[in-house]
Amino acid sequence: MEIRYIGHSAFSLSDGDTTVLIDPFITGNPKATVSADELQATTILLTHGHGDHIGDAVPIAKRTGAPVLAIVELAGELGQEGIEVRDPNLGGTAKFDWGWAKLVPAWHTSTTPKGTVNTPAGLLINFKDTIIYHLGDTSLFSDLQLVGRRHPIDYALMCIGGHYTMDRFDAIDAAGLVAAKTVIPCHYNTFPPIETDAQAFKADVEAATSSGVLVLDPGQTHTH
Ligand code: ZN
């Protein structure tokens, strides 16, 4: 499978036939290297409803027919656009042909651009037996250590930019709690308030924990 970092918090997971798209914020993302029209999706997963996470989910869903998974209040708003939605709440798991996705807690806030208040989440994803944990936007909290207990995490997609989320220093502790084999940092350098040093984060995490850190540039793909 391939993990592609699209930029900001957006990733795609693909084996060539199936593509899971996460938080596809492309239009208005100054670091994006693709346009939303070029992206394929079998399923779209959203961590929460802020504009830099919903992004282009609706037009991509309309073009591709991909269902969108989001927490129930957010799914309710999106369903009014005439797209197929899956609407679990925290702790709930939705099954797909390619595996499953579970919503887990994240400490953050969220209101959509249209005004729907929704609880932010992280996404624990089983994509064809690889376990990926997208933390969403969050601060550091101790329950991060619970997420991987039943399903040891291969890849943690972790915000490090600070200001709107935890910064790269709190994210060192988060990496210790999550205990993924590999951490891929995200949600940094898109805008001035979230500029940070991902290579310093990599050095710090690899010194303090048993996780490896993979720094991907927007547009870059990692083959698992
Ligand atoms: Zn947010």
Ligand 1 centroid–CA 191 distance in Å is 13
Q: Output the pTM of the full model.
A: 0.97
**Helix, strand, coil abundance in the chain, percent, nearest 5:** 25, 30, 50
**CB-based contact 13:66 (threshold 8 Å):** no
Residue 83: what pLDDT?
97
* 131: region left, alpha or beta (phi > 0 left; psi from -120 to 50 alpha): beta
Ligand 1 centroid–CA 53 distance in Å is 7
SS3 1: coil
> Phi and psi at residue 85, in whole multiples of 5°?
-125, 155
Q: How do strand 121-127 and strand 99-105 relate by DSSP bridges?
A: antiparallel
**CB-based contact 190:30 (threshold 8 Å):** yes
Ligand 1 centroid–CA 108 distance in Å is 7
Residue 215: what pLDDT?
98
Ligand 1 centroid–CA 160 distance in Å is 13
Ligand 1 centroid–CA 205 distance in Å is 24
Ligand 1 centroid–CA 111 distance in Å is 9
Determine the Cα–Cα distance for residues 93 and 88; give it in Å rounded to an integer.
7
Residue 210: what pLDDT?
97
Residue 169: what pLDDT?
98
**CB-based contact 59:26 (threshold 8 Å):** no
Give ion ligand 1 contacts, CB < 5 A: 50, 137
Ligand 1 centroid–CA 81 distance in Å is 21
Residue 173: what pLDDT?
98
Q: How do strand 130-134 and strand 155-159 relate by DSSP bridges?
A: parallel
Domain positions in the chain = 2-215
Ligand 1 centroid–CA 141 distance in Å is 16
Residue range 2-215 in CATH 3.60.15.10: yes
Ligand 1 centroid–CA 129 distance in Å is 28
* pLDDT mean values, one per 10 residues, the chain (224 residues): 97 97 96 94 98 97 98 97 97 98 98 96 98 98 97 98 98 98 97 97 98 98 96
Ligand 1 centroid–CA 17 distance in Å is 30
Task: Give the CA angle between residues 115, 137, 48 to the nearest 5°.
Answer: 35
